[in-house]
Amino acid sequence: MPTGVLAFVEYDASGLRKSAFEIVFAGRELAEKLGGPLSAVVVGEDPSGAAPALTGLGVAKVHTVADAALARMTADGFGTALAAVAAEADPAVVLMAASMTGKDAGPALAARLSCGIISDVVGFDVADGKLAAVRPVYGGKVRATVEPAGWPVVMTLRPNVFPPAEGADGSGEVGAVTVDVAGALRAVIKEVREPEERKVDLTEADIVVAGGRGMKDAENFHLVEALADALGGVVGASRAVVDAGWRPHAEQVGQTGKTVSPKLYVACGISGAIQHLAGMSSSKCIVAVNKDPEAPIFKVADYGVVGDVMEVLPVLTEKIQTAKSS
Ligand code: FAD
């Protein structure tokens, strides 16, 4: 029976992504419980720069797959590269973030390994060699405990749930794996349009300030942006405002948008429909501003302000700016 854990970690131009540290933290814990080694894999055009940081985090072996065809994420490319590394590392569990990349690469890998996938995991335990993973279902109303039917299994972990790994003793090795990625691609990305301004990924943000239809107009979102800036957070949105064209789909939180688990989620003029709650109810602290005291969002909120967003948001922003400068 395999006992190791293989952590697929993501990086960008500034180094390992925040989720990478969370995956390594969870990977260390899981590997210890399973009694096997923790290895990691980084893939990309040139992932060599990301590898050293991992060996200092207690990863026994870092596999790198370098290929020009991995410059952009594709399910075929990443799935093929990860499957080749999994064949070499022979892990019991392949861990990755339930990020946009992980949600695409995870199933692609599981299909290639002919194994199961447990997605959006928020906790796990191992007893008598059996893994039990916990994941929210029915929009976060219920938590299901899932046991894999066999090994290996792919698990995607919800971002912002596990703490980041810190430095550990020991130095791991780094080894390159050669894979024919280009030959596996069934579609080629011709063009990618980057947003003009690159902000922290919504799913990895510690603070999200989201606006809903109660903001009345796209122009009023400057109030949401100002509060997000004052708090050092990023802007999110309900589907109603995305459908209205007030905000881009990349900001949508919910069942058909992104799942976020920030330390602080501020819902401004959002009713709290079940499909919206599905994407944010695991936030650590929820603050709601809504003029309707019966709005469902107040049922999940830790703090609530019954009031008009047009009046409340400027005051909140000013108070936070004053508190920061004093
Ligand atoms: P509303 O429900 O219209 O709520 C506006 C709120 O603003 C109200 O509570 C009102 O009291 C308050 N308000 C109004 N004016 C003010 C003011 N001046 N000051 C303070 N408060 C004010 N929704 C999502 O968000 N994400 C999803 O991913 C998503 N996926 C969906 C998938 C499916 C299959 C379906 C059917 C629906 C989905 N929805 C999703 C839509 C969802 O059901 C709701 O319609 C949507 O979340 C409502 O957005 P809202 O809260 O901004 O608007």
Q: State yes or no: cis peptide before 47, omega within 30 of 0.
A: no
Say yes or no: CB of residue 269 within 6 Å of ligand 1. yes
Beta carbons within 8 Å of 294's beta carbon, 6+ residues apart: none
- 56 C-alpha to center of ligand 1: Å? 45
pLDDT digits (tens, 9 = 90+) for 213-254: 999 999 999 999 999 999 999 999 999 999 999 999 999 999
Q: What is the largest CA-CA distance in the chain?
A: 61
- 297 C-alpha to center of ligand 1: Å? 10
How is residue 288 annotated by DSSP?
Answer: E
Q: Which of 253, 291, 312 to mutate to test the pocket of ligand 1 (most atoms within 8 A of CB)?
A: 291
Torsion of CA 106, 107, 109, 111, to 10 degrees: 160
Q: In this predicted structure, what is the pLDDT of residue 303?
A: 98
Instruction: Give the end-to-end CA distance of the chain in Å, rounded to a whole number.
Output: 59
- pLDDT-derived band of residue 194, with 50, 70 and 90 as boundaries? confident
Q: In this predicted structure, what is the pLDDT of residue 169?
A: 66
Average pLDDT over residues 89-113: 97
Average pLDDT over residues 250-275: 95
Average pLDDT over residues 196-216: 88
Q: What share of the chain is helix, strand, coil (3-state, %, to 5)?
A: 35, 25, 40
Which structure tokens are listed for 142?
A: 């219920």
Index of the ligand 1 atom closest to the CA of residue 309: 19
Does 197 score more than 90 pLDDT? no
Q: In this predicted structure, what is the pLDDT of residue 147?
A: 97
Is residue 240 a contact partner of residue 234, using CB atoms and an 8 Å limit? no
The Cα–Cα gap between 173 and 193 comes to 37
Q: In this predicted structure, what is the pLDDT of residue 171?
A: 76
pLDDT digits (tens, 9 = 90+) for 153-174: 999 999 999 999 998 666 789 9
Q: 84: closest CA among 175, 13, 151?
A: 175
Does 74 score more than 70 pLDDT? yes
Average pLDDT over residues 67-76: 95
Q: Report helix, strand or coil for 223.
A: helix
pLDDT digits (tens, 9 = 90+) for 297-322: 999 999 999 999 999 999 999 999 99
Q: 112: closest CA among 92, 146, 147, 87?
A: 87
> What is the pTM (predicted TM-score) of this model?
0.82
Q: What percent of the chain has pLDDT over 70?
A: 98
Say yes or no: CB of residue 238 within 6 Å of ligand 1. yes
pLDDT digits (tens, 9 = 90+) for 96-106: 999 999 999 99
Q: Report helix, strand or coil for 134.
A: strand
Hey, how many other C-beta atoms are within 10 angstroms of the C-beta on 116? 16
The Cα–Cα gap between 304 and 314 comes to 16
The Cα–Cα gap between 133 and 93 comes to 11
Hey, how many other C-beta atoms are within 10 angstroms of the C-beta on 300? 18
